[in-house]
Structure formats: structure tokens, C-alpha cells
Amino acid sequence: MKMTEQPAFTFRMSDEVSAARREGRPLVALESTLISHGLPHPQNIEVATASEAAVRTAGAVPATMAVLDGVAHAGLAESEMHRLATADGVAKLSRRDLAIALSGVSGAAALGATTVSATMILAARAGIGTFATGGIGGVHRGGEASMDVSADLFELAHTPVAVVCSGPKVILDLPRTREVLETMGVTLVGYRTDDMPAFWARHSGLAVDCRADSPAAIAAIIRARAELGIGGAVLVCNPVDPALAIDIDEIESWIAACIDDAPAGAAATPWLLAEIARRSEGRSLAANKRLIIDNAALAGAVAAELGG
Ligand code: PSU
Ligand code: MN
């Protein structure tokens, strides 16, 4: 006789997220790698809190994703957010890592922040179609030899969640990242721009597929793609606030000065972000904070347009 099937892992939703799902209210997924690995404390907790507030102001419910004690979470309590923002040794969970973190296997990292790829997976499972982050991962500089290409790109190719960001991170090889997005069939939409933004910089010199000037226009593209049933993402690129944007040539000078010292693998992105925050005397950090919060607001407006 077959035993009753037990789920292999637990997915705990906060009361607020559960209620919103039940009532068909708009939801926005938020990631946690930028809290644990992308920003220093206490700016990380400020940004996480402000992003949730921005989603609410726009008329949607925020669902910050993470793995706590081996349990997948959508919607975090303040104490849980604090833990992710301050604990040592929080794992950086990408697509490949999620199964391990949720398996309960002893020794597996049970406290983990979710990257863009892992957050998209959890969002899709929770039925959440809109997600906001800062900058996506992509092809690292030298990636044509090292093959260091973020799993974010493959997730964007397959998982039907709209992602609002400020473009790929400027520390990456932007032309190759743009090529891979095209090859993977990701629909790249510029919000009020024809030029793909580059994280702390407003312009990359690379074209988007389409410009959209309102959340309603973005929602129409997301709906059409969903109806095609082809999977994969609409990637909405929202340029950073001009008041905090940094000229790309100035950013390039900081990158050039430190890229050869960057570690390989998953540590590369967090190391480069911290190093450039130091070299820019906090300007990259200020831009990063602003763009994350603004992307949360735009994602909230898009989710509100889409309805549930
Ligand atoms: N946006 C930010 N800061 C970050 C990230 C996004 O403003 O730290 C994270 C996202 O979680 C993204 C990850 O998935 O950086 C990319 O890491 P990698 O290059 O190792 O794939
Ligand atoms: Mn990598």
C-alpha cells in the first residue's frame, strides 16, 4: 500500500501573503541576497524595509523570500529580516542550491538568502508573477573563458515571472549579457528608456527590445507573453534616479582598478559591490539603495495593473 505522500519541504507564507493570495490581491516578490550579501548593515535592513513599504504604497503586498531553518519563506517577520541582515554565514542560494537548503540533510546550509534565480522559482511556486530586485546577474567579465555566467540568465529564460530591475550589474560584461538575454528569448523592456540601463548608470549604450512609458503598458506586454505560454521572463529595466546615477566612465575606472583582485565564483559579485562602494566613497551604495526601492515601487504598480 502506498504511504500518504508527505511534501519534501515546507513553504511557509506569512499571514499577509496568505491572505493576499486567497483574496487574489496583487503581490510582489522581493529577494534576500541583496540584504545578506549585496548591501552592508544597517543599510540592508533599511532598504529591505523601505522596499516593502514602496510595494504597499503602490497597492500590492510584498513577499520577501528566504530559507530559514530549512523552510522556504514568503513574507518575513521583522526578526527574520534582521537575522538575514546580520547573521554570519548566510548562504547565497541560487537555482542549484535550493533543493539542498530545503532537504533537511544535515550539514546543508539551512539559512539562506535567495538570488534572482531562486527567488523567481519560489515566486512561481507561490503564484506570484511580479518580482523586484536591484540588478540581475549575467556574463562576468572574462566569462567567455571562465564560463562564469549567472544562473539568473537561465532562470529568466525559463520561469514565467516578470522581473523589475535596473539592468544587469555594471560590473558584468554588458554586451555579452545583452546577447545572452536575446538568445534566451527574454523580453527586455525599458521603462521610459530606449537604452538598457546598467545598474548605478542610466545607460549602457545597448538597446532594449521595447520602450514602455507606463505600468499599464508593461502589464500589457506581460499579459501577452503569459498568454503565449512560452515561459520565461519579461525583464523590465528601470534606470536609476538621475540624481544618484553615476557616469559609466567613472564606474569603469573603479572596476578597472579592482577587477583583477576579485575572487572567483559566487563570492565575486558581493566582493565587487563592497569594493566599489569603498572606492566610490559610498556613491555606488547610495545609488544601489535608491534603485532597489524605486524598482519595488514600479513592480508594485505593475502588479496592481495586472490585478491578482
Ligand atoms: N541586486 C542588487 N544587489 C545584489 C543582487 C541584486 O542590488 O546583490 C544579487 C541578486 O540576488 C542576483 C545576484 O541574483 O546579485 C547575482 O549574483 P551572481 O552574479 O553571483 O549570479
Ligand atoms: Mn557565477
User: pLDDT (tens digit, 9 = 90+) per residue, 86-127?
Assistant: 999 999 999 999 999 999 887 777 899 999 999 999 999 999
- Judged by its nearest atom, the ligand closest to the C-alpha of residue 37 is 1
- Closest ligand to Cα 133: 1
Position 5 in a domain: no
Query: Mean pLDDT of all residues in the chain?
Result: 97
Nearest residue (CA) to ligand 1, atom 1 = 134
Give me the percent of the chain exceeding a pLDDT of 70: 98
Give phi and psi for 280, each to the nearest 5: -90, 5
Closest atom of ligand 1 to CA, residue 273? 8
Which residue numbers are catalytic? 31, 169
Whole-structure pTM value: 0.97
What mean pLDDT comes out for the span 21-33?
98
229 in any annotated domain? yes
In the prediction, which pLDDT does 2 show? 59
> Is the pLDDT confidence value at 3 over 70?
no
CA distance 28 to 221: 17
Q: Which three cell numbers stand for residue 76?
A: 518575513
pLDDT digit string, tens, across residues 197-207: 999 999 999 99
Q: Is residue 3 part of a domain?
A: no
Domain membership flag for residue 212: yes
For ligand 1, atom 5, the nearest C-alpha belongs to: 34
Encode pLDDT of 146-170 as tens digits. Answer: 999 999 999 999 999 999 999 999 9
Whether pLDDT at 32 is above 80: yes
Q: Looking at residue 34, which CATH number applies to its domain? A: 3.40.1790.10
For the Cβ of 288 lying below 6 angstroms from any atom of ligand 1, the answer is yes
114 pocket-lining for ligand 1 (C-beta < 6 Å) = no
Q: How many domains does the chain have?
A: 1
Kindly give the distance from the C-alpha atom of residue 149 to the centroid of ligand 2, in angstroms, as a whole number.
5
CA of 140 from ligand 2 middle (Å) equals 7
In sequence order, the β-bridge partners of residue 66 are: 73, 113
31 lines ligand 1 (CB under 6 A): yes
Cβ pair 152, 168 in contact under 8 A: no
β-strand 71-74 against 61-68: which pairing, if any?
antiparallel
Q: Is the CB of 292 under 6 A from ligand 1?
A: yes
Is the residue at 200 inside a domain? yes
- Tell me what pLDDT residue 4 has: 66
Alpha carbon of 151 to ligand 1 centroid (Å): 10
Predicted confidence at residue 109, as pLDDT, reads 77
Atom 21, ligand 1: residue with shortest CA distance: 150
Please give the pLDDT value at position 120.
99
Residue 29 CA, chain-centre distance (Å), reads 9
Distance 199 CA to ligand 2 centre (A): 18
Enumerate residues with CB within 5 Å of ligand 2 (an ion): 148
Here the cell at position 10 is 515546507
* 266 ligand 1 Cβ < 6 A: yes
Give yes or no for residue 240 having a pLDDT over 80.
Answer: yes
1 in any annotated domain: no
Asked if the model's pLDDT at residue 5 lies above 80, the reply is: no
The parent domain of residue 221 ranges over 11-306
Q: At what angle do helices 95-102 and 151-158 cross, to 10 degrees?
A: 90
CA of 194 to the centre of ligand 1 (A): 24
- Residue 171 falls within a domain, yes or no? yes
Cell of 178: 545583452
232 pLDDT higher than 70: yes
Q: Which pLDDT band, with edges at 50, 70 and 90, does 6 fall under?
A: confident
The angle, 0 to 180 degrees and rounded to 10, between the axes of the packed helices 283-306 and 43-57 is 30
Q: Residue 6: inside a domain, yes or no?
A: no
Name the residue at shortest CA distance from atom 10 of ligand 1.
115
Task: Determine the Cα–Cα distance for residues 275 and 269; give it in Å rounded to an integer.
Answer: 10
